[in-house]
Amino acid sequence: MHWSFVVVELVVFALSAMVVWHAYHQGSRWLSSCLWAMAFGLTIELLLVVFADPEGQHYVYGDFLLMVGPAGEKVPIWVGVGWGSIVYVSTFTAQRLRSPWMLRPLTAGLLAVSIDLSLDPIAERLGFWKWFNVNPLNYFGVPFDNFVGWFLIVSSFALCVRAGLHWIPESVWGRNVWLPGVAAVAAVPPFLLLNYLLTIIYRLPYGELALFSGLFAIVAAVTWGTALRSRRDNPSNWPVLTVPLVMHATMLFLLFTTGTFRHEPALLVVIPLTLVVGFFAFSWPSLDSLFTHRAR
């Protein structure tokens, strides 16, 4: 096992512990959402690896310290826990923007994928996971449908939670505790259906790249429009900001220390760029207060 495997595993578990601590102090709704998001992320990975791709024809994981699943089809626990943490900080940030509740899940999905744009190229190069049968048009060895898929996963879960909060009265017993769990279950069938429908689009010439480019261009435009109308003077929330900052910084660290930049020199631009853009995206609701505080 390469030392980088241990580094990313420990970093994600440390960030996840911090996120759970933060969620605990936000109340039962956020704590339940955080824990269910972690369980949801791990469940989705197991479904994809064990049932959707049992022979490992699409991708397989490397060997980590803590893994779960049947022999030969194990999933690293840090992947599910890490995605739960990313879903949490993404939805927490999205709900602070001035946009209709139905659009906030799209923003959460976009924020979550922004972290993956740094993580996946490094993970592919170092063998955290390995993709097979990748389209010649890809993102540093990672298929574009990976990002579309994770966008759909995050958005569908966030949408089900938001819909439940919108339609189910708060007076209903235990709503904040059980709702995220129900949302996690409800989000699985739509995701699997959408994932199947996407395979039809991928058969078209440049279908995968066209879907990736078009989808994120539209969502980015919608998010930017709502962000411009939103407040930027909310109190700075460093536990939330720490997740994207540390994830991007860890990938930048591994880029240099493992010599990955020699094989993928373009990442010398891409990862710092995603770090800067990601920081401003996650800090947007508190951007003014953050820099005003620093200037004093």
Per residue in 75-128, pLDDT (tens digit) is: 999 999 999 999 999 999 999 888 888 899 999 999 999 999 999 999 999 999
- Is the pLDDT at 56 greater than 70? The verdict is no
Q: How confident is the model at residue 295 (pLDDT cuts 50, 70, 90)?
A: very low
- Find the mean pLDDT for residues 66-71: 88
Full residue range of the structural domain in which residue 151 is found: 3-295
pTM for this one?
0.92
Q: How confident is the model at residue 71 (pLDDT cuts 50, 70, 90)?
A: confident
pLDDT at 57: 61
- For the chain, what is the domain count? 1
Which of the two residues, 292 and 16, has the higher pLDDT score? 16
Percent of the chain whose predicted confidence (pLDDT) is above 90: 57
Q: What is the mean pLDDT of the chain?
A: 88
Residue type, 121: P
Given a contact cutoff of 8 angstroms between Cβ atoms, the answer to whether 241 and 283 are in contact is yes
Give the integer Cα–Cα distance in Å for 173 and 112.
Answer: 31
Given a contact cutoff of 8 angstroms between Cβ atoms, the answer to whether 117 and 251 are in contact is no
Alpha-carbon distances of 214 from 51, 107, 199, 209, 210, rounded to whole Å: 29, 15, 16, 8, 6
- Rg from Cα positions in the chain: 19
pLDDT tens for 228-285 read 888 888 888 889 999 999 999 999 999 999 999 999 999 999 999 999 999 999 999 9
Q: Pick left, alpha or beta for residue 130 (phi over 0 → left; psi -120 to 50 → alpha; otherwise beta).
A: beta
- Find the mean pLDDT for residues 168-193: 87
Using alpha carbons only, give the angle 208, 209, 214 rounded to the nearest 5 degrees.
Answer: 105
Residue written as token pair 């996971």? 129
Give the integer Cα–Cα distance in Å for 8 and 6.
Answer: 6
Residue written as token pair 């969620």? 23
Give the integer Cα–Cα distance in Å for 234 and 238.
Answer: 12
Query: For the chain, what is the largest distance between any 2 Cα atoms, rounded to a whole number of angstroms?
Result: 58
Q: Pick left, alpha or beta for residue 46 (phi over 0 → left; psi -120 to 50 → alpha; otherwise beta).
A: alpha
- Is the pLDDT at 18 greater than 70? The verdict is yes
Residue written as token pair 């207060």? 289
Give the integer Cα–Cα distance in Å for 66 and 180.
Answer: 25
Given a contact cutoff of 8 angstroms between Cβ atoms, the answer to whether 156 and 102 are in contact is no
Q: How confident is the model at residue 211 (pLDDT cuts 50, 70, 90)?
A: confident
